[in-house]
Amino acid sequence: MRKNTLVRRIAATAAAVTMLGAAMVAVPTSAQAAVTCSYGNVCFYYYKNLAGAARSYSASDKSMYDERFNRGGTSAAGYGVRVENHSSSVYNRTGQRVLMFKNRGCYENNEYALAIPHGAAGNFADTDYPGYDNNIASVKIGSGRCINR
């Protein structure tokens, strides 16, 4: 009985997560990114095409409310702006799958999760899910524990 419940929950979670891999390939390469995204990080950018100020995350974060775009220099567009609800593109260099959520808390069992594989970069506004542009609030890297950092 208990096992069945767990299996059902996992199946429901998988169905709720939207895979964006294919949609996120035709985006700028790392060489074109204004701010380099180092291996081990998932980087969020203020503008699409990996432009503007950036913020790197090397661990899952339950709330992006308390981080600000802090890379690219003070003259970069969006520098100092809160990351939550202000990123327009992303580059996953974590070596793991990254899940992104419209809400804080990394709740995988809602309909607002996007998954991208390692190496994928993309614009939220250019996907089939434009509701994600300026609307990412938490991030989960691999199976990392999602706590606020």
Cα–Cα distance, 50 to 32 (Å, whole number): 8
Question: What would the x/- binding string for Ca ion be over residues 10 to 39, using CB under 5 A?
Answer: ------------------------------
* Cα-to-chain-centroid distance, residue 106: 11
Residue type for position 66: D
Per-residue exposure over 24-52, b if at least 16 CB sit within 10 Å of its own CB, e if not: beebbeeeebbbbbeeebbbbbbbbbbbb
Report, in Å, the least distance between residue 78 CB and Ca ion: 17
Q: Which is nearer to Ca ion, 63 or 88 (CB)?
A: 63
88-147 positions binding Ca ion, by CB under 5 A: none
- Residue closer to Ca ion by CB (options 66, 128) is 66
Q: How many residues bind Ca ion (CB under 5 A)?
A: 5
CB of 1: closest distance to Ca ion in angstroms?
A: 38
What is the distance between the alpha carbons of residues 8 and 92, in angstroms, rounded to a whole number?
29
**Per-residue interface string for the shown chain with Ca ion, residues 56-95, x marking contact by CB under 5 A:** -----x-x--x-----------------------------
